[in-house]
Amino acid sequence: MDRVAFQIGPVPIMWYAVFIVSGIILGLGVVTWLGKSKGYDFEDWIDFLLLGLPIGLVGTRLYFILFNLPYYQDNPAEMFNVRGGGLAIHGGMIAGLIFTYFFTKKKNFDFLITVDILAPAFILGQSIGRWGNFINQEAYGQVVSQETLSWLPQFIQEGMYINGVYHQPTFLYESIWNLVVFVIMIVLFKSKYYKPGRVLGIYLIGYSIGRFVIEDLRMDSLYLGNFQVARLISIVLIAAGAYLFYRSMSSGKGKN
């Protein structure tokens, strides 16, 4: 598949980057919309984006490099080549949560409400970003017959024909699952049942359940010994989400 969306002069712009940027723009719209009801300003999110985005991207890259260390030790220059992929979402989650904690302290915002606003935007971006994996022909699943994929549009079938065989479109499963979780989070945030921390709890539980199940179908998982790293992290995040949901308190105000 052609990974180049278009060119600006001699510089090729990759589809992966187009999907990532699209997710960021839509995510900014989501946090602006949700934040209004809690007293946040558009400028607050611009400040967050300008500082948090590079930190999050570094986190996703470092996490990926860490679990592919032998390759990058032999090819150190490739550590800086992110145009074709190689970003791990769990690294971005960890870096993002740490940054958000200090950001809310500096701005005197409520941490739980802030992450409740950010979480739907984050998973929407994940849903969109999975299509970048499709273009790059990565994050795909086990070998299947063409007949198994016959229910899918032709372009997806063709995209899942990799190295002479067809694969499960795990990118599609996760993209759809994330979109469902996104809708649930928005409905909860806007409902009378919302309490600070509950949306983040739903994100951690919902995303991680989907990732745990889908990861078993993938062929390019990161491993720690004999264990898939994403499944181990998912178990921890499900427990953390359940704890957050259980301990959630009254919503209060968007800012302290």
At 114, the pLDDT band (50, 70, 90 cuts) reads: very high
**pLDDT beyond 80 at 98:** yes
Tell me which of 228 and 251 has the higher pLDDT: 228
Residues 211-224, mean pLDDT to the nearest whole number: 89
Helix, strand, coil distribution of the chain in percent, nearest 5: 65, 10, 25
- Rounded to two decimals, the pTM is 0.89
pLDDT of residue 253: 47
106 Cα distance to chain centroid: 25
Residues 132-138, mean pLDDT to the nearest whole number: 91
pLDDT of residue 84: 56
pLDDT of residue 80: 84
Residue 30, token pair as written in the block: 């989501």
The span from the CA of 69 to the CA of 62, in Å, is 10
How many other CB atoms are there within 10 angstroms of residue 184's CB atom? Answer: 16
Percentage of residues of the chain with pLDDT beyond 70: 96
pLDDT of residue 256: 46
Residues placed in the known binding site: 130
Amino acid at residue number 244? L
The span from the CA of 24 to the CA of 36, in Å, is 18
pLDDT of residue 249: 58
- When the pLDDT of each residue in the chain is averaged and rounded to a whole number, the result is 91
Dihedral angle over CA of 185, 190, 191, 192, nearest 10: 130
Residues 203-208, mean pLDDT to the nearest whole number: 97
Distances (CA, A) of 76 to 52, 81, 87, 91, 211: 25, 10, 16, 19, 29
